[in-house]
């Protein structure tokens, strides 16, 4: 079995955070999301060490479990939030409001109000939004700090569904219109210009698009300074990729080595020394977590299909992006691979395939399949499709186990549904 980092094998069993995953399945049932706290902290610290002077605004969309947010708050992280819900969770977790940036291309007035009332900075996506925000800030007699989200027109080599800085993307203000936009904001009431923001995409395995983005942002900042607009922060977003299969992934240090010299040199001449902000999500969370699922059936049809108890209701990445997640047979973790299997979920859709044609040890009914690297965009993208309650989430830490989210029940599927009286 190929494990990496914090995963171990003992007596043929997969061990995470010092805890035997087979024992966890007996205690808590399956499916189960299991997260290793030590790995979250180690990933965060590795990132922070590479960027000691930068602010790290963890991308809450990747995993907004309250305990995860609390751990990162303890480590000193801020947050990039993309909805009122994520803002609510970040504040509940104790992330200070001055370390939160509210992003989003289509915020509701209620979300803007929530940010204004909580003194949270907003990354504004359009002039239309700026005007609405100004009215809301006026209503609350508040001065709201903003950045604009720039569309830098950069093409990172990643899945098209997660490239966000292409010129045709829905995010941000076109590069060419940025100066005019800032000028309008300069004279907009109740608005304080503080920063500039971009995010070019996700799962990026080459540092050069980040360098290109940094250069473009610094040039904009210099140009803005000529108009008397001095920024306090430059946020270049998240997007650092990880190795899901055998890809060579740059480390935070590799990223820092490329962008920091340009950032430091570029900002030296400016009146104010802007802070660098980064918004990693996947790098911090992806490899901290496994999804443990049980084989319900094994059948040989056109392929060897293993039907497990988790499907794209719990992990949509393979179906949505053809994403590869490594598979370990958790109760046979050191057995030799002998056959090729396709791991499929129980959802009534042929696209419900979690892993295709994997060479694995012999799989039988009730064997445990661990799907690796699911801590980012795993649970946070789950649904109740096909009437399937979501599973529990556990946190393991040096041999200890905590439930950090209870599994849902069948009644939870109905909890917010209301039967009109004539049907009762
Ligand atoms: N900042 C902004 C404004 C973002 O939109 C994102 C991700 C991030 C930061 C964090 O990016 P990261 O460091 O995690 O790559 N569901 C997809 C990924 C969508 C990413 C959306 N934005 C997936 O499962 O691959």
**What's the DSSP call for residue 240?**
B
Which residue is associated with the tokens 């607009």? 229
Ligand 1-lining residues (CB < 6 angstroms): 59, 61-62, 80, 103, 162, 164, 199, 202-203, 237-240, 279-283, 317, 321, 376-377
Longest dimension (CA), the chain: 72
423: buried, middle or exposed (CB in 10 Å: 19+, 13-18, 0-12)? exposed
Distances (CA, A) of 2 to 198, 283, 328, 334, 413: 36, 20, 8, 9, 38
Res 71: pLDDT: 98
Query: Is the confidence at residue 255, as pLDDT, over 50?
Result: yes
Nearest Cα residue to 59 out of 40, 38, 81: 81
Decide if 354 contacts 371 (C-beta within 8 A): yes
Inform me whether the pLDDT recorded for 152 exceeds 90.
no
For the ranges 9-13, 62-66, 265-269, 275-279, the lowest mean pLDDT is seen at 265-269
**Residue 281 alpha carbon, nearest atom of ligand 1:** 14
Distance from the CA of 256 to the center of ligand 1, in angstroms? 19
Spacing, Cα 34 to ligand 1 middle (Å): 21
Q: Which of 384, 128, 121, 111 is nearest to 232 (CA)?
A: 121
Atom of ligand 1 nearest to the CA of 149: 3
Beta carbons of 161 and 321 less than 8 angstroms apart: yes
Model pTM? 0.97
Structure tokens at 282: 């996947």
Does residue 136 register a pLDDT over 70? yes
Q: Contact at 8 Å (CB) between 286 and 322?
A: no
What's the rounded mean pLDDT across residues 317-333? Answer: 98
pLDDT digits (tens, 9 = 90+) for 169-191: 889 999 889 999 999 999 999 99
Three-state secondary structure call for residue 387: coil
* pLDDT over 70 at 78, yes or no: yes
**Atom 7 of ligand 1: nearest residue by CA position:** 202
Calpha distance 198→123 (Å, rounded): 9
3-state secondary structure of 196: strand
Best mutation site among 59, 87, 198 for ligand 1 pocket (most ligand atoms within 8 Å of CB): 59
Residue of 260 and 159 predicted with greater confidence: 260
Would you state the pLDDT for residue 239? 97
202 and 239 Cβ atoms separated by less than 8 Å: yes
Considering the chain, what percentage of its residues have pLDDT values greater than 90? Answer: 92
Q: What is the pLDDT of residue 3?
A: 46
pLDDT recorded at residue 226: 92
Residue 112 confidence (pLDDT) above 50: yes
Residue 328 phi, psi dihedral angles, 5° rounding: -130, 135
Rounded to the nearest whole angstrom, what is the distance from the C-alpha of residue 243 to the centroid of ligand 1? 16
Instruction: Identify the pLDDT of residue 163.
Output: 72
The C-alpha atoms of residue 102 and residue 313 are separated, in whole angstroms, by 27
pLDDT at 5: 72
**Mean pLDDT on 5-26:** 96
Burial class (CB in 10 A: 0-12, 13-18, 19+), 357: exposed
Which mutation among 43, 205, 239, 244 tests ligand 1's pocket best, with the greatest number of atoms within 8 A of CB? Answer: 239
Query: What number of CA atoms fall less than 13 Å from residue 314's CA on the CB side?
Result: 28
Q: What is the mean pLDDT of residues 204-232?
A: 95
In the prediction, which pLDDT does 2 show? Answer: 45
Q: What spacing in Å lies between the alpha carbon of 403 and ligand 1's midpoint? A: 26
β 100-102/78-81 pair status:
parallel
Give the pLDDT confidence score for residue 353 in this predicted structure.
Answer: 98
Mean pLDDT (the chain, rounded) = 95
Query: Is the pLDDT confidence value at 362 over 60?
Result: yes
Report the 10 Å Cβ neighbour count for 176: 10
- With tokens 């989210």, the residue in question is 405
Where in 86-156 does DSSP place strands (E)? 100-102, 121-124, 144-151
42-51, 161-170, 394-403: least confident range: 161-170
198 is catalytic: no
Query: So what's the pLDDT on residue 165?
Result: 67
Task: Dig out the tokens for 101 from the structure.
Answer: 């940036």
Kindly report which listed range (137-141, 150-154, 197-201, 382-386) carries the lowest average pLDDT score: 150-154
Residue 77: per-residue pLDDT? 98
Q: Please tell me the distance between residue 81's alpha carbon and the centre of ligand 1 in angstroms.
A: 11
């Amino acid at each position: 079995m190929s494990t990496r980092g914090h995963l171990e094998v003992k007596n043929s069993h997969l061990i995470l955070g010092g805890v035997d995953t087979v024992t966890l399945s007996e205690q808590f049932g399956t499916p189960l999301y299991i997260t290793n706290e030590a790995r979250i902290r180690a990933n965060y610290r590795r990132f922070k060490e590479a960027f000691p002077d930068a602010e790290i605004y963890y991308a809450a969309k990747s995993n907004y479990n309250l305990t995860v947010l609390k751990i990162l708050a303890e480590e000193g992280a801020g947050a990039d939030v993309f909805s009122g819900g994520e803002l609510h969770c970040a504040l509940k977790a104790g992330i200070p409001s001055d370390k939160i940036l509210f992003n989003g291309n289509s915020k509701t007035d209620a979300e803007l109000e929530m940010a204004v009332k909580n003194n949270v900075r907003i990354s504004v996506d359009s002039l239309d939004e700026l005007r609405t925000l100004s009215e809301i800030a006026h209503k609350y007699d508040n001065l709201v700090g903003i950045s604009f989200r720039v569309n830098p027109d950069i093409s990172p080599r990643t899945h098209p569904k997660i490239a966000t800085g292409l010129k045709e993307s829905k995010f941000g203000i076109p590069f060419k219109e940025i100066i005019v936009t800032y000028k309008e904001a300069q004279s907009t009431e109740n608005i304080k210009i503080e920063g500039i923001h971009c995010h070019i995409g996700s799962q990026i395995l080459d540092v050069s698009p980040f360098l290109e983005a940094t250069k473009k942002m610094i040039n904009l900042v210099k140009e803005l300074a000529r108009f008397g607009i001095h920024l306090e922060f430059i946020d270049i977003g998240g997007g650092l990729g990880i190795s899901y299969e055998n890809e060579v992934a740059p480390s935070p240090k590799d990223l820092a080595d490329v962008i920091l010299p340009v950032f430091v040199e570029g900002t030296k001449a400016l009146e104010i020394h802007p802070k660098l902000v980064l918004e990693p999500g996947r790098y911090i969370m992806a490899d901290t977590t496994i999804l443990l699922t049980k084989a319900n059936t094994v059948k040989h049809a056109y392929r060897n299909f293993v039907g497990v108890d988790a499907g794209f209701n719990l992990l949509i990445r393979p179906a949505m992006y053809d994403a590869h997640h490594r598979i370990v047979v958790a109760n046979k973790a050191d057995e030799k691979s002998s056959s090729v299997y396709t791991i499929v979920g129980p959802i009534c859709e042929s696209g419900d395939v979690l892993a295709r044609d994997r060479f694995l040890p012999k799989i039988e009914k009730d064997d445990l399949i661990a799907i690796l690297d699911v801590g980012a965009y795993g649970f946070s993208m789950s649904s109740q499709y096909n009437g399937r309650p979501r599973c529990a989430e556990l946190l393991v830490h040096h041999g200890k186990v905590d439930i950090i989210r209870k599994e849902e029940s069948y009644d939870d599927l109905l909890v917010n549904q209301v039967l009109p009286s004539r049907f009762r």
